[in-house]
Amino acid sequence: MQLSTTRLGHAVHALIDILPLNHPADASLSRYFRNNHELGPKDRAFVAETVYAVLRRKRLLEHLAAPHTSPRHLILALLAKVQGLSLRELEPLLHKEENEWLKQVKAVPTDNLPLAVRVDFPDWLTERLVERMPEEEILALARGMQHSAPLDLRVNTVRANRDEVLAILKRDGIPAEATPFSPVGVRIMEKPAINRHPLFLTGKIEVQDEGSQLLGYLVAPKRGEMIADFCAGAGGKTLLLGALMHSQGRIYAFDVSEKRLTQLKPRLKRSGLSNLHPQLISNENDIKIKRLAGKLDRVLVDAPCSGLGTLRRNPDLKWRQKPQDIEELTQKQAAILTAAARLVKVGGRLVYATCSILEEENERIVEAFLATHPEFELRAASEVLAQQNIPLDTGKYFKLAPHLHGTDGFFAAVMERKS
Ligand SMILES: C[S@@+](CC[C@H](N)C(=O)[O-])C[C@H]1O[C@@H](n2cnc3c(N)ncnc32)[C@H](O)[C@@H]1O
C-alpha cells in the first residue's frame, strides 16, 4: 500500500487516540474514522493495519525506538524494522533528525531479547504461560497471534448451502475456500465489504470465526429440543444453534446486556429463524431462569472472559487486561456456570466455553465445577466432534489456537448430566 505523509499523519493521530488504552481500540478507531470522514477505503485500511500492527508489537517497538516512544516513533520503527521498509523508501516522510535515529533503530539487535519482549506479551501473561508451556510453544503461540485474522463466514443452512455460497463468491471475484473443520464455514483471505454483499443482506451468511462455529457442533442441538445460550451476547452462536435445530424447538438467548441483545435483533431477522427467544436477565440467578430448572436439553455457557484468544483481532486486550481483571472474571465464570448448570435436565448437555488461553479461565473453572457437581461428567470433545464427522482431536477438552488451527484461541468442555 502506498505510503504518504497524509496517510502516515492519520495513522499517528489515530494511534494517539488509541494508546491511552482506556477504551477498546476498535471503538477508538471507529470514532477517529467518524471524525475524519474524508478518508477513503484505502486510507482507512492503511491506518487500521498500521495501528493494529503497532498494538501487536508494542513492546518490541518501545524497545527499538527508545528513548523516543511517541506514537510517531513507534510507527516509524514498525515500518523500518518489523515491516522491513528501507530508509530510502521512508526518507520522504521523515523529519531531518529522524533519519539518524531510524538508522540506529535498524541496527538494534533483536536476538537475545527477554522472552516477554520477543512474544510481545505483558510480564504477568508471559509468567503464566511459562509455568505450563515450553518456550518454543509460547513463541509459536505468540507468532500466531501477531497476524491479522482471515475473514471467516458461516453459511446459514436455513437459507443456503456452502457450495452455493462458494460459487456465488467465486462468480463475484471474491477468492474463498471451505474451512478445514467447520462443515458450514467459508474462509476469505481478503477483506471485502461483506456486509454489503447480497449473500449477507439476504441472511445466507454471517461473519463468524471457524472456532466459534465449532462450538455449536459441541452443543449439537437437535430439532425440537429446548436449549439455552446463557451468555448469548449479539447471538453469534445462538444463530448457528438455531440453524442446527432447523428452526424447530426453542432457544432461550439470555444475556445481561440489553445493548448486545438489541444487536442480535437485525441478525435474527436476516437469519429467517423463528425458534429464538432473546431474554434480558439481571444476573445469572434471575427469577426468569429459575422456572427452567432441570428442563433444558442443552445449555451453552459462552462465558465472559479475558478474550486473550482473540489477540489477532483485538491486540489491545493484552495491554488492557490486568491480573486483577482475570481474578474477577474467574469468579463470575464459576458463578455463571453453576447457575446455568441448574437448567440442564437429566441426560442433558452443558458446554462451558471461552475465547481465552488462560488455564484459570478454562480447565480450572471446569475442574472446580466437576469437583462440586458429581452429577455432571466430562465427555471428550474429540468424540463429540467425531460423531458429527468433524476430524479434530484436541483431547478431552476442545482447545484451538491460531498457530495450530488457523482460528482464534478457544476453549470448551462438554459435560453431561448423568441419568
Ligand atoms: C463471550 S461474550 C458472548 C458472545 C456470544 N455468545 C457470541 O457468540 O456472539 C459473553 C457475554 O456474557 C454476557 N454476560 C456477562 N455476565 C453475564 C451473566 N451474569 N449472565 C449472562 N450473561 C452474562 C456478556 O454481556 C457478554 O455478552
C-alpha 114, offset from chain centre: 27
Of 242, 188, 235, which Cα lies nearest the Cα of 212? 235
Nearest CA to ligand 1 atom 20: 284
Choices 1.10.357.10, 3.40.50.300, 3.40.50.11290, 3.30.70.1170: CATH for 151-207: 3.30.70.1170
Q: Which pTM does this prediction carry?
A: 0.96
Instruction: Please report the DSSP string for 101-136 in residue order.
Output: HHHHHHH---TT--HHHHHT--HHHHHHHHTTS-HH
Residues forming a β-bridge with 338: none
Please name the amino acid found at residue 179.
T
Alpha helices by DSSP H, 3-134: 5-18, 25-35, 41-56, 58-65, 71-77, 87-90, 96-107, 115-119, 123-130
Is the confidence metric ipTM above 0.90 for this complex?
yes
Q: What is the CA radius of gyration of the chain?
A: 23
Q: Give the burial string for 302-315 (b: 16+ CB within 10 Å, else e).
A: bbbbbbbbbbbbbb
DSSP category for residue 80:
I
Q: Is 302 in the pocket of ligand 1 (CB under 6 A)?
A: yes
Q: Is 230 in the pocket of ligand 1 (CB under 6 A)?
A: yes
161: left (phi over 0), alpha (psi -120 to 50) or beta: beta
Q: Is 257 in the pocket of ligand 1 (CB under 6 A)?
A: yes
3-state SS assignment for residue 232? coil
Whole-number pLDDT of residue 88? 94
Rounded to whole angstroms, the Cα distance separating 364 from 372 reads 13
Q: Is 340 in the pocket of ligand 1 (CB under 6 A)?
A: no
Among 215, 229, 255, the mutation site with the greatest number of ligand 1 atoms within 8 A of its Cβ is: 255
DSSP category for residue 238:
H
Query: Domain ranges in the chain?
Result: 5-112, 114-146, 151-207, 210-417
Whole-number pLDDT of residue 191? 86
Q: What is the pLDDT of residues 117-137, one digit of tens each?
A: 999 999 999 999 999 999 999
3-state SS assignment for residue 396? coil
Whole-number pLDDT of residue 78? 98
Rounded to whole angstroms, the Cα distance separating 74 from 9 reads 13
Q: What is the pLDDT of residues 236-274, one digit of tens each?
A: 999 999 999 999 999 999 999 999 999 999 999 999 999
CA-to-CA separations, 283 to 260, 288, 303, 315, in angstroms, rounded: 15, 10, 13, 29
Q: What is the pLDDT of residues 271-313, one digit of tens each?
A: 999 999 999 999 999 999 999 999 999 999 999 999 999 999 9
Reported as a pLDDT band with limits 50, 70 and 90, residue 111 is confident
Nearest CA to ligand 1 atom 26: 233
Residues with catalytic function: 355
Whole-number pLDDT of residue 390? 97
Cα–ligand 1 centroid distance for 172 (angstroms): 36
The mean pLDDT of the chain is: 97
Element (H, E) at 271: helix 258-271
Share of the chain above pLDDT 70, in %: 100
Cα–ligand 1 centroid distance for 336 (angstroms): 10
Task: Classify domain 210-417 at the CATH topology level.
Answer: Rossmann fold (3.40.50)
Which grid cell is 91? 526518507
Cα–ligand 1 centroid distance for 255 (angstroms): 6
Q: Is 231 in the pocket of ligand 1 (CB under 6 A)?
A: yes
Cα–ligand 1 centroid distance for 85 (angstroms): 42
302 is in an annotated binding site: yes
DSSP category for residue 280:
E
3-state SS assignment for residue 248? coil
Dihedral, 191, 196, 202, 204 alpha carbons, nearest 10: 0
Q: Is 260 in the pocket of ligand 1 (CB under 6 A)?
A: yes
